[in-house]
A and B are shown apart, each in its own frame.
Chain A
Amino acid sequence: MARNGAVTWRRRTEKIDGFDLSPTDSEEVYRCVDDSHVDRKVIERLLRIPLARVTAVDSGRRALQFLGLDEEKNSNGLDGLKVDLIITDYCMPGMTGYELLKKIKESSAFREIPVVIMSSENVLARIDRCLEEGAEDFIVKPVKLSDVKRIKDYMTREFRVGEGERGGGINKRKLRDSCDLSSSPPSTLSSSPVSPASSLSSQSPSPTPSILSASAPCSPSSLDSPTRRLKMTSSE
């Protein structure tokens, strides 16, 4: 079963969509984009375990606003903002998780942040598309504790990953391939060159990551290729 999920963590206290977060000094903030109240609460709780801070928002647009990538705002959003992971639902009205992923990977400031996609539907075409676009992982809901533990592993590693050639984001497969071909020692992840654009992630990692999580309800039927229909009747 493929798995994805993205959560961003935030350092500062902010009141967003009714979530009043007051971090302690060492806490980081996670951002959780999920339109379902139930999911949001569960994911928030799951991610809070390692004292990480979760910011939950209910749309891709708000996630971008939070990151300062919203076109209307036209700001960089880098003043003290530190995001270690973005977790997002695939299926959202207005902007899908896939579109959010693309926007993040297009941004020089945030393209290195690992993005994880969640979906209640196990659709291979969808999973592949997200991974190709640079998603770190794909989680099929419901999100479990074991998923969360895996996500946390990404965050520790990702701090040392440099950029790919076109800077469009490295996904796990590409990274693995290049590692196999190079003559560097196995731990090539840490020896990748870090470009200026990735200065955000080269800050000394703090103990508690910040996760941004996005999700919203939407009609699933409009988003996928015809292959999705085949999956509908399979047991879930």
Chain B
Amino acid sequence: MDVVSQLQRQFIDYSASLHREGFVDDQFTQLQKLQDENSPDFVVEVASLFFEDCEKLINNMARALEQQQGVDFKQVDASVHQLKGSSSSIGAMRVKNVCINFRSFCEAQNREGCLRCLQQVTHEYSLLKSKLQTLFRLEQQLLAAGGSIK
């Protein structure tokens, strides 16, 4: 197998595994389809925005949950709602699912539950970030070798 085919195989397999393991869903596939010669870095750009969003929102949640005088669950919920929206738009399924649970705990004003979800969402975000970085690296290698992802 020549180099391009090998890299292509690697990319496809890795992409498939992300779907299989639930890291991304169909929405992510839609975004990949939107990438073209006019927007060659579209997915990477959206992903970068998403990771920035994640970090900001996770920090907001952590700060709000730390408040000893009394947690403002509405504030936490607002951040979770935003994160849920972003993760849904990019197809970050596992992050989104944690957010769904997270919101229930916010509504129940359950601080322990919220803290657990915060931990989970942080974990899922880190995992996803590293997985997508790998995916993008594979894509770069493939393109550099003269192949294409379509």
Contact = CB atoms under 8 A, between A and B. Distances in A.
B45 interface: yes
A15 B69 CA distance: 44
| Chain B contact residues, majority secondary structure | helix
A41 interface: yes
Given A36-B86, A145-B30, A232-B107, 5 more contacts: A37-B86, A42-B46, A48-B38, A142-B88, A217-B85
A130 B117 CA distance: 33
Nearest to A93: B78
A200 B139 CA distance: 47
Interface of B: 27, 30-31, 33-34, 38-39, 42, 45-46, 49-50, 52-53, 74-75, 77-78, 81-82, 84-86, 88-91, 100, 103-104, 107
A49 B53 CA distance: 25
Nearest to A219: B78
A77 to B, nearest CB: 30
B97 to A, nearest CB: 10
Contacts of A45: 34, 39, 42
B45 A144 contact: no
A232 B33 CA distance: 31
Interface in A130-176: 141-145
B107 A42 contact: no
Nearest to B78: A219
A218 B79 CA distance: 9
Nearest to B88: A142
A76 to B, nearest CB: 34
A233 B30 contact: no
Contacts of A41: 45-46, 49
A12 B14 CA distance: 43
Interface string A5-20: 0000000000000000
A79 B82 CA distance: 36
Contacts of B103: 232
Interface string A195-236: 000000000000000000000011111000000000011001
A38 B89 CA distance: 7
Contacts of A24: none
A35 to B, nearest CB: 8
B77 A142 contact: no
Contacts of B85: 36, 38-39, 120, 141, 217
Contact of A220 (B42, B49, B81): B81
